[in-house]
C-alpha cells in the first residue's frame, strides 16, 4: 500500500463558517491512479487534490473517496493556497492549473480572497428525473433545471433548503450524479444552497465551488446582478463571492491551512 504526505486545508471559510476540508497532495512520480484513489479514500475528505509541478505551471486532479471527478472548486482553492505558502521563492502572482476541465487560473484579490477563474456551466430548464423530488422531499419547486449531469432545483424559501433531509439511498438509484438545491436569500447573501452527491461518495458536500459555476449564472440572470454573495448552508457552512468575466465565473473565498501534514 503506497503512502503520501497530505495537507488538510479548509476552503471558503469565513467567521463562523468552517468551510469544506480538502486534502492536498504533491505525489511522488512512482504513484499510480490506484494509489491516488486509495490515498483519497484513506484521507476521507470530500475531495483530495493531487498537484503535479511542471516548472511554474501545475497539473491538478481531484478524487473523492470513491472516484475521480472532472472539476472541484474548494480543493483547487486549497491547492493554490498551499502552493503560495510552499513556493514563496517563485513569486507567483497567478497560479495556473491544467485539468480535465481546461486551464484554471487562481489569483489573489485586493480584499485578500483567492479567486478561481472557472468555466460558466449553463443551466437548462428540464423535467426532474423520476424519483428525484421524492428523494429530496420537495413537492413544488419553483424551478428545475439541469447542468451537465447535475440537477439544479430552486426551492420556495431558505427554510425549505435548511430543513432538507434527503433519502440518499434513493438518490443513489438515480441516473444523475447529484443535485444543487437553492433559494433566494435575504441580505447579506443573494442566495443559499446545499449540494448532494451520494453517487460520487459525498452524501452532502459542505461547500461546493464547482456547483457555483452553474448557480452563479442562474442567479445572475434571475437577480440581474454581476456580483453575488452566496452561502452554502451545510452544517459546516461556507461563503463564496461570485463575479463574472466573459464566459467565466470568478469564485472568491478564504482558506485556513491546518498545521503540519499527515501520512496516509
Which residues are annotated as catalytic? 47
Q: What is the C-alpha separation between 27 and 233, in angstroms, rounded? A: 33
Please, which residues have CB within 8 angstroms of residue 95's CB and are 6 or more apart in sequence? 58, 80, 83, 84, 105, 106, 107
Nearest to 105 by CA among 56, 62, 50: 56
Neighbours of 10 (CB within 10 A): 24
Q: Is 117 exposed, middle or buried (0-12, 13-18, 19+ CB in 10 A)?
A: middle
- Cβ atoms of 196 and 166 within 8 Å: the answer is yes
28 vs 69: CA distance, rounded Å: 21
Strand, coil or helix: 80: helix
Amino acid at each position: 500500500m503506497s503512502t503520501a504526505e497530505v495537507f488538510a486545508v479548509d476552503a471558503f471559510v469565513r467567521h463562523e463558517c468552517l468551510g469544506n476540508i480538502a486534502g492536498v497532495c504533491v505525489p511522488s512520480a512512482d504513484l499510480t491512479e490506484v494509489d491516488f484513489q486509495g490515498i483519497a479514500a484513506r484521507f476521507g475528505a470530500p475531495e483530495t487534490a493531487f498537484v503535479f509541478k511542471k516548472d511554474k505551471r501545475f497539473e491538478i486532479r481531484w478524487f473523492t473517496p470513491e472516484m475521480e471527478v472532472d472539476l472541484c472548486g474548494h480543493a483547487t482553492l486549497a491547492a493554490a493556497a498551499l502552493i503560495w505558502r510552499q513556493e514563496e521563492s517563485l513569486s507567483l502572482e497567478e497560479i495556473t492549473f491544467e485539468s480535465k476541465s481546461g486551464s484554471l487560473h487562481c489569483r489573489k484579490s485586493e480584499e485578500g480572497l483567492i479567486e478561481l477563474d472557472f468555466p460558466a456551466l449553463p443551466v437548462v430548464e428540464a423535467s426532474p428525473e423520476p424519483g428525484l423530488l421524492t428523494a429530496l422531499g420537495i413537492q413544488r419547486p419553483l424551478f428545475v433545471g439541469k447542468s451537465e449531469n447535475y440537477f439544479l432545483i430552486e426551492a420556495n424559501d431558505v427554510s425549505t433548503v435548511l430543513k432538507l433531509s434527503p433519502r440518499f439511498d434513493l438518490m443513489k438509484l438515480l441516473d444523475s450524479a447529484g443535485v444543487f438545491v437553492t433559494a433566494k436569500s435575504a441580505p447579506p447573501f443573494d442566495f443559499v444552497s446545499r449540494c448532494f452527491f451520494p453517487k460520487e461518495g459525498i452524501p452532502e458536500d459542505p461547500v461546493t465551488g464547482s456547483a457555483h459555476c452553474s448557480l452563479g449564472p442562474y442567479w445572475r440572470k434571475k437577480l440581474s446582478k454581476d456580483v453575488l454573495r452566496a452561502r452554502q448552508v451545510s452544517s459546516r457552512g461556507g461563503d463564496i463571492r461570485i463575479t463574472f468575466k466573459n464566459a467565466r465565473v470568478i469564485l472568491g473565498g478564504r482558506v485556513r491551512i491546518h498545521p503540519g501534514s499527515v501520512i496516509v
